[in-house]
Amino acid sequence: MKKQLLRPLGAAAVCSALFLAGCAQVPPNAGENPADPYESFNRNVYAFNDALDRAVAKPVAEAYAAWTPEFMQTGVSNAMDNLGEPTNTVNNLLQGKADKGIGTFFRFLVNSTFGIAGLFDVASEIGLEKAPEDFGQTLGVWGVGEGSYLVLPVLGPSSTRDWARYPAGWATSPTTWALWDEDWYWSAGLWLVDGLDTRARLLELEKFRESTVDEYAAVRDAYLAARRRAVADGEAMDAEEELETLTPLDFDDEE
């Protein structure tokens, strides 16, 4: 009975998302921004993702945050971060950061054992600092340009360079190989837990979401700026240069 109810609910969420994507507001000057030549396409995908988020991901994340004890949420976040350490290790080494590569490798070993499968971040307590890196950042360090902004279905903001971090992350994840011969639902379940944890961490940004004039442009600018800082290892951009990357917002004059 529950499956019979869930199927139409899921179909309704997808249908509403597709409808809202078709109704996405695309400004007449879409595509003029050099960093976002695919803006018309991106805005429609963004509307689709936003509708799915409001219908499914956000309510589930809010329920999870409200009903799950904080220590359990912290444990889940720690475990998900720990599963990403091998990817961090590979990318740090590829970027020539041997010290950080070795550090993230030992973080994985320590947290996977003494931290009970990563539920507890013992590594940070003994001075092994986090050094998150993905393959998009590695390509940036190698001199590959960020390319054009690109919004991926379900996955969200990316670029024609950064999308490579997803297959590379899959290939370097320990769960990919640990669950290779297992039934598909084990991998799907882990993917859902990771997605739920990620969405729950973003709930604190909701207050900014509702007060944004153009949410799409704000997310795009914030994403591109964050990725540039990540490639530069956190070094801040020149203030004037950063201002030039922001999208000017038009306000209707009130009479």
Instruction: List, as own/partner pairs, every contact residues 172-178 make where C-beta atoms lie below 8 angstroms and the sequence separation is at least 24, other chains included.
Output: 172/86, 172/87, 172/90, 173/83, 173/84, 173/86, 173/87, 174/83, 174/86, 175/83
Residue 164 forms part of a structural domain: yes
Q: Is residue 98 part of a domain?
A: no
Say if 230 falls within a structural domain. Answer: yes
Per-residue pLDDT of the chain (255 residues; tens, 9 = 90+): 444 434 444 444 444 454 445 456 888 788 899 999 999 999 999 999 999 999 999 999 999 999 999 999 999 999 999 999 999 999 999 999 999 999 999 999 999 999 999 999 999 999 999 999 999 999 999 999 999 999 999 999 999 999 999 999 999 999 999 998 888 889 899 999 999 999 999 999 888 887 888 999 999 999 999 999 999 987 655 545 555 555 555 544 444
Answer yes or no: is 210 within a domain.
Answer: yes
Q: Indicate the number of domains in the chain.
A: 1
| Domain around 144 | 134-245
Residue 222 forms part of a structural domain: yes
Tokens for 125? 């307590």
- Evaluate whether residue 55 is within a structural domain: no
